[in-house]
Chains A and B, each alone.
Chain A
Amino acid sequence: MTALLRTDGVSKAFGGVQALDGCSIEVARGSIAGLIGPNGSGKTTLFNMITGYGRVDSGDVYLNDTKITNLAPDKVFALGIGRTFQLTRVFSRLTVMENMIVAAHHKERAGRPGGGRVRNPFARAGGPATRRRAMELLEFTGIARLAGDRAETLSYGQRKLLELSYVLIADPEIILLDEPAGGVNPTLIGTIADRIRELNRQGTTFLIVEHNMEFVMGLCDQVTVLDYGNAVVSGPPDVIRNDRRVLDAYLGTAEADDDSPAA
């Protein structure tokens, strides 16, 4: 199976810190891929490089074998890669529905035969089709009744769902989720996992960064481990769970393991 998304030897340094060091990963089409690793291993940086929030020092990123290295975020988004953030980024003063519409406008514009130019700048924000789709997605993620509320009134968990919703409205081929379960209550985590599975069944590929092992191991087909900016090992959850290198990455070297609590 050809990889939908691939990075090839991506390196990125910030001042003296080498965040990514020749990092190569692959995400198979139609899979749910996990990306784990200790803090500082470069997971979010990798996301940033893939989605254009920063320029790589070296290496390349491929989507369907097309090079997309260093493309601006909006172009990456337009090519079908959606992405959420660790600290949710939603438009606080806009309502939930308006958040959805902003994310959808790009699709609306692209759908027009005239191309880039908007015909009527004063057109009401969000046509009926967009709103319908938005409501569908909001129902799917379970926050539809908050549609008229301002995003800043949402709880953290609800904001995560909103972010997921508006990323979905663009119908991306692959979605990069940055810690979707972080700081969210257990019931909601279950809901999020269900939604991901459902979307995956419908054909969306996922790449998920997470620290919550239960979440990752229970959800992902393939897990890649990063350590010091490098992909150390990659494989199905069972294999990864018991791999020595993973334990090393998280807990330090083997000798110190004897008295330390289990991972």
Chain B
Amino acid sequence: MNPAAVARTAGVVALLAVAAAVPLASNVTLTHVGVFVLMYVGATLAWNIFSGYTGYISLGAAVFFGCGMYTVAIITKHLNLAGGVVFALFPVGAVVAGLVAVPFGLIALRVRRHTFVVVTIAIFFIFQLMASNFSFTGGSAGILPPFLNWDPNTFDEPFYYTALLVAVAAGVLAWLIWGSRFGLQLRAIRDDEDRARGLGVRAMRVKLAAFVISAVIIGFLGGLYFYFQQEALPEFAFNPFFDLTIALMAFIGGFGTLWGPVLGALLLEPYLGYAQLQISNSYLAEVVLGAVFLAVILFLPRGILPTVGEMITKWRAARARRAATPADGHPPEVAAAAGSGATGGGGVR
């Protein structure tokens, strides 16, 4: 293995070790915020698997979050469950979200990109309204779970570790997909969907698959969120800010890249998490969120990872240029990415 790969792996392992150790610090606030951070890491990774890779921006992820939330809430309430057993219901929430994603995707993915975003918003509102109006979802009063008598000092820990597991799983999944045939097709769709179709890529199937995968992960997190907050309310289950926040995180870190979303979530959520606890004035938080988003879009449109990557590449190229002999005539090329094994026959420039 080359040194870069070793360094990368070591870095990831270290990061995971730190993450796993957080609850051991016995700082309740830290752990509490940590749960949110990890949830957003997972959610943003999941969102990116669909929206980032295919370029179809979805502002309806909250639909899946809410479905997961309500599924777990309804079952918990109905069967009067409490404690660790509820955790077993999270996958059920995930499955329900996935099932919802199928018709949702089949309808929404037939339209152009701009319309697609809007359709996701429309469907989001339908769900929000349904949650507020249906009686089995408790209407606007929502659903509260049966009493849970866990020790408040360690309450957060099982949630933390579950969220960590989900975040890691999402990361692994994103990584597997990135390098796979499936992932390549998704990314080709983003660049030129018609051309991809012309070459035989089954665009609808591929997009739908990514959409469902994304939904399943987010649905799981929705279920987790329900039990973490001990309530399911329409305005929090189906919350437009959720969508905006994960979109923002993905953009900050690097929309469509593999690890950008993680970076974005890690950067942004601690701030947002603390802000939510400290700043009682949530309206101010809104303004700040909007302003940050605007700033990112205007000044750092590709996100941190790609921009930094570009800067590094330019710096390397400039260094190489300075080192090369001027008599060569040809400016030396930017180093090709590792693994190409190019033998360069008959170069044409």
Contacts and interface: CB of A to CB of B under 8 A. Distances in A.
Per the CB under 8 Å rule, do A and B touch in the complex? yes
Interface of A: 51-53, 72-74, 77-78, 83, 89-95, 97-98, 101-103, 105-106, 108-109, 118, 121-126, 135, 138-140, 142-149, 153, 155, 157-158, 161, 166, 170, 187-188, 191
24 contacts: A73-B197, A73-B198, A78-B200, A89-B192, A93-B256, A101-B181, A102-B188, A105-B184, A109-B200, A121-B181, A121-B209, A122-B182, A125-B179, A125-B180, A139-B343, A143-B348, A145-B333, A146-B336, A147-B341, A147-B342, A149-B337, A155-B349, A166-B199, A191-B346
Contacts of B183: 125
A94 B182 contact: no
Contact of B192 (A52, A91, A101, A121): A91
B198 A94 contact: no
A95 B198 contact: no
Contacts of A144: 342-345
Contacts of A53: 194, 198
A209 B324 CA distance: 42
B191 interface: yes
B45 to A, nearest CB: 16
Given A91-B192, A145-B342, A123 B180 contact: yes
Nearest to A148: B340
A93 B198 contact: no
Contacts of A101: 181, 184
Given A89-B192, A125-B184, A145 B344 contact: yes
Contacts of A123: 180-181
A142 B185 contact: no
Nearest to B183: A125
B195 interface: yes
A77 B200 contact: yes
Interface of B: 176-177, 179-185, 187-188, 190-192, 194-201, 209, 256, 333-334, 336-349
A73 B176 CA distance: 30
A129 to B, nearest CB: 14
A125 B198 contact: no
A74 to B, nearest CB: 4
A95 B342 CA distance: 13
A52 B348 CA distance: 33
A79 to B, nearest CB: 11
A74 B197 contact: yes
Contacts of B196: 91, 102
Contacts of A108: 181
B184 A98 contact: yes
A79 B194 CA distance: 18
B197 to A, nearest CB: 6
A98 B176 CA distance: 16
Contacts of A147: 336, 340-342
Given A121-B180, A148-B336, A106 B199 contact: yes
Nearest to A108: B181
Nearest to B178: A125
Nearest to A158: B348
A187 B347 CA distance: 12
In the complex, which of the residues B181, B182, B209, B340 has the most CB atoms of chain A within 10 Å of its own CB atom?
A: B181
A125 B176 CA distance: 10
Contact of A89 (B195, B336, B341, B344): B195
A142 B346 contact: yes
A135 B341 contact: yes
Given A145-B336, A146-B342, A157-B348, A124 B181 contact: yes
Given A121-B181, A122-B180, A157-B348, A91 B191 contact: yes
